[in-house]
Amino acid sequence: MADYDYDVLIIGSGPGGYVAAIRAGQLGLKTACVESRETLGGTCLNVGCIPSKAMLHASEYFDAAANGTMAKMGVKVTPELDLPTMHAQRLDAVKQLTSGIAFLFKKNKVDWLKGHATFKDAHSVDVAGKTVTARNIVIATGSSVTPLPGVTIDEKVVVSSTGALELQAVPKKMIVIGGGVIGLELGSVWRRLGAEVTVVEFLDQLLPGMDMDVRKEAAKIFKKQGMALMLGTKVTGVAVNGASASVSVEPAAGGARTTLEADCVLVSIGRKPNTDGLGLEAIGLEVNKRGQIETDHDFRTKVATDEGGVWAIGDVIPGPMLAHKAEDEGIAVAENIAGLTGIVNHAVIPGVVYTLPEFAGVGLTEEQALEQAGGDKAAIKVGKFPMLANSRAKTNHEPDGFVKIIADAKTDRVLGVWCIATVAGTMIAEAALAMEFGATSEDIAYTCHAHPTHSEAIKEAAMAVTGKAIHI
């Protein structure tokens, strides 16, 4: 057997790569992780999940003080925005968490190799002019912003999510191109802080991929909060003139073009896998039509040798571009490389939009469940419970939202759960666990839930599947 520098070399230190590296280290494999950024943690920790949640959380406090929510509860305050401090606490969260990964690497004897990795062959990469060899190489290079043809992102007037996290002043008018997760989260941050926000979405509803009831309700909620929504509308161009931009829009179905003016434009129309400059041609690995690297169920690519080979995980492979999906794949790939059995159940991956309220779901949408049943409406049962009737939500002045449970009519097995609630992201974990254990709606309905909690709405929705909800 050839002598390699490492048992495992991981390219990219996002939630996929760094988790794979730590798990490989725990399993006693000699491990290195290559990262081209200055800090570890990838998109998620540096410019994604973490900084966006820091701004969402802080702006929620400002909004609660400014929009009368606090006054309703007898706390009268007039908020004053200190944006530099808000940004500083964001940067502090990022710093603490990224340096935490460096600590965990040391603890698990993972070598951090600084630089951009390019394949030379199936067992070696070039990192900053040096060749490093490994029995197994894991591609965990993540994703980056999808550009809008003809629109230049200058990160000042026309920004990606990265620029939108760092705006040094609250825009007067912000146009968000794309009513998906990033557009709604970051659009919410700046709306709460005082910007007039218009979301332009190509499709006729927000949040593609979510259950249609959730998508329709989302439009109502964001409108009520003061966001202007232009659904079924496409952006055809953006012209920057000094500190302002003119955005050309037209109906997606065709029609007259109009122009919107703004001092900030956020381009959030999706993300694309990072494979440029990776040297995939040197190992004969091709990407699919969507630019993704295909793997088998064990995360092995087509490039396999007798001694190991090339694996891939996270945003660079098919599936939802989510940190927890990447993390789970990171654990599984390390276990598979170590000869154990690493599995990810891709049918049960929750998704959460961290606005207020939060939007969360796991499993099938009602539309998907119906399609799977060949359109037979009698093949599925749906239970719904409004947050308005949940005692804790009511007490907290959080009336928006519902829980919806979709079950198989014959077996009662839960097929999908959808929640809109202030803490939907936390509530959905219970649904994911139940589905992972193959629960029926009755299993959830007869599980004792603490009172008064938002989670009781999940129990009630489960009871509603068979018409037994108590509080409606």
Give the C-alpha separation, 183 to 269, whole Å: 8
Residues in 37-56 that interact with ligand FAD by CB under 6 A: 37, 42-44, 48-49, 52
Active site residue 57: no
Under the binding rule (CB under 6 A), the answer on residue 181 touching ligand NAI is yes
The interface mask with ligand FAD, positions 351-370, x = CB under 6 A, is ---x----------------
d(CA 161, CA 144): 10
Q: Among residues 9 and 407, whose Cβ is nearest to ligand FAD?
A: 9
Q: Report which secondary-structure segment, H or E, holds 360.
A: strand 358-363
Q: Which of residues 160-179 bind ligand FAD (CB under 6 A)?
A: 161
Residue 211: burial class (beta carbons within 10 Å; 0-12, 13-18, 19+): buried
Among 191, 215, 271, 459, binds ligand NAI (CB under 6 A): 271
- Classify 134 as helix, strand or coil: strand
**Closest approach of ligand NAI to the CB of residue 323, in Å:** 7
Structure tokens at 129: 């002019």
Query: Which residues, 120 to 159, sit near ligand FAD by CB under 6 A?
Result: 140-143
Tell how strand 196-200 and strand 228-230 pair up: parallel
**Using the rule CB under 6 A, is 123 a contact of ligand NAI?**
no
Kindly state whether residue 269 participates in binding ligand NAI, applying the rule CB under 6 A. yes
d(CA 313, CA 273): 11
**Taking CB within 5 to 8 Å according to partner kind, which of ligand FAD, ligand NAI, none is near residue 269?**
ligand NAI
Chain residue whose CB lies nearest ligand NAI: 180
Residue 433 CA to residue 348 CA, distance in Å, equals 9
Point out which residues pair with 247 in neighbouring strands: 238, 260
Catalytic residue, from 297, 346, 397, 451: name it: 451
Question: Least distance (Å) from ligand FAD to the CB of residue 367?
Answer: 23
d(CA 141, CA 155): 22
Quote the least distance from Cβ 44 to ligand NAI, whole Å: 9
In the complex with ligand NAI, the residue whose CB is nearer, 75 or 212, is 212
In the complex, least distance from residue 83 CB atom to ligand NAI, rounded to whole angstroms: 21
Each residue 274-313 as x (binds ligand NAI by CB under 6 A) or -, in order, gives ----------------------------------------
Contact between 153 and ligand NAI per CB under 6 A? no
Secondary structure in 3-state letters for 383-432: EEEEHHHCHHHHHCCCCCCEEEEEEECCCCEEEEEEEEECCHHHHHHHHH
Among residues 403, 447, 396, 445, which one has the least CA distance to residue 428?
403
Kindly list the catalytic residues: 451
Q: Which residues bind ligand NAI (CB under 6 A)?
A: 148, 177-183, 185, 200-203, 208, 234-235, 268-271, 320-322, 352-354
